[in-house]
Structure 1
Amino acid sequence: MNMEMNKFKTLGEYLKSRRNRLQPEAAGIRNSYSQRRTPGLRREEVAILAGVSTTYYTWLEQGREVTASREIMESIGRALQLTQDEWMHLFELWNPGSALPLPSISIADSKLSPQWRDIIGQLNYPSFITNERSEVLAWNNAAAEVIADFSLVPDPGRIMLRMLFMDQGLRRRMVNWEEFAQYSVAVFRTYYDMHMNDSWYKNMVEQLMDDSPEFAGMWQLHNIQAKRVNRVVIQNLVTGCAVTYDINSVANLADHPGLHICIYTPLSEYPFTDAETGRLN
């Protein structure tokens, strides 16, 4: 599949996912008693709300190579009630410039400037360097103690998104695991669509969908999310307390576009409660 066809296919899948999510009542469509085959709006309903023909909108969802103006995309975006991040993603997919292949990000440890390893090594807070694939390239001692001992994970599998679903120890210690997992999948989906011609993303997602039904369920929602300060609660193995961290990201490191430092800044600490029994551990 060439880049243009891939672009239209991805745009169509994204529009369909947003349509399926929007309930008729939320779109102002009432007294719709006929049996629905779709979980959300029908294609013809989106077309009416957007002021375009049903055939035209159907072709867009099917990934056909049809020309759409900015005004049309704005009308469709309003009809689908997109969030700010979803608006941005829609226009990234629609803009012809987004079909150009993005430069591959080097994942070799030797390509990472030693100074950045030294910098995160000086930080007291858990910190690691990752790329848009969520591959962990470097980390400090605090990250190994609080998040995971990345040195024990074989290099090809040192992928934070995969560890989030497959590392059972990390999952048990992450108090708000489901919320954080949904956010992480949505951020990764944003990069996935931006790198639609990179086979690495496709292979990784297919493998993780086979390995984790929970990931497969979240992935099929097609949610997207721009990376921003996020919050996670992790049990400290030493103190037995759950610590709340704000995750700050320092992006676009010198000479390494696409890489960023994730810094876990602690906010509070409280006794860890077992999610199943409700008892303090």
Structure 2
Amino acid sequence: MERNAELGDFLRTRRARMSPADAGVAPGGGVRRVPGLRREEVAYVAGVSTDYYTRLEQGRHPNVSEAVLDAVARALRLDDDERGHLFDLARPRTTRPRRHRVERVQRVRPEVHQMLDFLNGVSPAFVANHRQDVLAANQLARALITDWDKLPYRERNFARYVLLDPGARELYLNWREVAETVVADLRLEAGRHPDDARLNELIGEAVVKVPEFGSWWDSHRVAQCVHGTQRFQHPVVGEITLHHETLVFPADPGQTVCVYTAEPGSASAQALALLASWSAPENTAAPEPAEADPGAA
């Protein structure tokens, strides 16, 4: 990706969503040719010159300070994810020549596998990395979403499933909402890992194959898939609404666990219990734990 263009597009979309009233400045005279704040208004609120901000938006200020980026983030009212994304795009990258290296295989600790097994009777749960590669999943998660273990290594990816598998549009009643959040997470991680070949391949494939992807990507929305509600039309138990929380592993950088729960006493809780009974290990052969592709680059 061209970092200067990414930075400029991101800043333009962020100021386009704000009005002078949002920023606490008086609207200037004349007709506004574009929606949102003008560059000089962002510069005024951030406490920098218009020329300085213009050069930043055009990617012509490689040594911008943290203080200025903080000021711009406050002026544009960026949330934590957006602020982090701004820093990822604006900070100069290392000038050391890049060498091709084989990515270290990401393994899930035995204790985490035990946790997934413990949750299996009550909560679907899976472990993923920054690309949303599914590294491990309990039986209930595989029964709820898809059986990751039966897929080739490179296809064991939550974002790939949601965006590219036709079955996902039938499974998720709120597919558009789920998909848009997935794209926002991919956009965030692309800023953090611009040289991740596998991530860039996934994004490129989605651009070509998912009609809605282009407009979502061009919105420059960034967000982590940390929590939310997903509604399913499951082929076995019917309609079910679940809340999901994503938790980090301090001892395993880059790995998170997504855990689904149902409202106690609800019809969804009953449906989830039925699904757990239907997918219990004594009723199905237990697959081997999933790992990342040993040949990933």
Question: Normalising TM by the smaller chain, what interval?
Answer: 0.7 to 0.9
| In 2, Cα distance between equivalents of 1:82 and 1:195 | 20
Listed one character per residue, the Cα deviations across residues 51-108 of structure 1 (whole Å, up to 9, x for unaligned) are 323322121112124433333223322321222432343345556699999x996456
- In structure 2, the residue corresponding to 1:63 is in which secondary structure? coil
Structure number with the higher strand fraction is: 1
Q: Residue 85 of structure 2 corresponds to which residue in structure 1?
A: 89
Mapped contact 1:253–1:260 kept (Cα < 8 A): no
Counterpart-to-counterpart distance in 2, 1:17 and 1:104: 36
User: Is contact 2:81-2:188 (8 Å) kept?
Assistant: no
CA–CA distance in structure 2, aligned partners of residues 197 and 20 of structure 1: 29
> Per the alignment, in what secondary structure is the counterpart of residue 132 of structure 2?
coil
Distance across 1 between alignment mates of 2:231 and 2:103 = 30
Go from structure 1 to structure 2 and tell me whether the alpha carbon gap of 1:69 and 1:118 turns closer, same or farther (over 3 Å shift).
Answer: closer
State the secondary structure of the residue aligned to 2:170.
helix
Is the 2:126–2:258 contact (alpha carbons within 8 Å) kept by the matching residues of 1?
yes
Deviation of the 1:134 alpha carbon = 0.3
The alpha-carbon deviation at position 160 of structure 1 amounts to 0.8
Tell me if structure 2 keeps the 8 A contact 1:245–1:266.
Answer: yes
1:261 to 234, 257, 261: 257
In structure 2, the residue matched to 1:200 is 198
- Report the Cα distance in structure 2 between the residues aligned to 1:177 and 1:29, rounded to whole angstroms: 41
| Number of aligned residue pairs | 260
Question: Where does residue 134 of structure 1 map in the other structure?
Answer: 132
Question: Cα RMSD over matched residues?
Answer: 3.2
The answer as to whether partners of 1:107 and 1:137 remain within 8 angstroms in 2 is no
- List runs of 5+ in structure 1 lacking aligned partners: 271-281
- C-alpha spacing 1:184/1:98, structure 2 compared with 1 (3 Å): farther
Contact persistence 2:62–2:92 (CA under 8 A): no
Post-superposition shift, 1:190? 1.8
1:14 pairs with one of 2, 10, 25: 10
Bigger relative contact order, structure 1 or 2 (CA pairs below 8 A, ≥6 apart): 2
Secondary structure class of the residue paired with 1:116: helix
TM-score by length of 1: 0.77
Give the 3 Å change call, closer, same or farther, for CA 92–66 of structure 1 in structure 2.
closer
Letter matched to residue 76 of structure 1: V
State the secondary structure of the residue aligned to 2:242.
strand
Distance 1:32 1:203, change over 3 A: farther
Taking the aligned partners of 1:148 and 1:30, their CA distance within structure 2 comes to 52
Distance 1:31 1:148, change over 3 A: same
Q: What residue in structure 2 maps to residue 68 of structure 1? A: 64
Q: Which residues of structure 2 form unaligned runs of 5+?
A: 269-297
What one-letter code is carried by the residue in structure 1 that aligns with 2:139? N
- Aligned position for 2:112: 116
**Counterpart contact for 2:117–2:138, Cα < 8 Å:** yes
Amino acid at match of 1:221: S
- Preserved CA contact (<8 Å) 1:128 1:137: yes
Secondary structure, aligned partner of 2:262: strand
CA pair 115-71 structure 1, distance change in 2 beyond 3 A: closer
Which runs of structure 2 are paired with 1:48-197 in the superposition (5 Å)?
Answer: 48-94=44-90, 106-107=104-105, 111-123=107-119, 124=121, 125-197=123-195
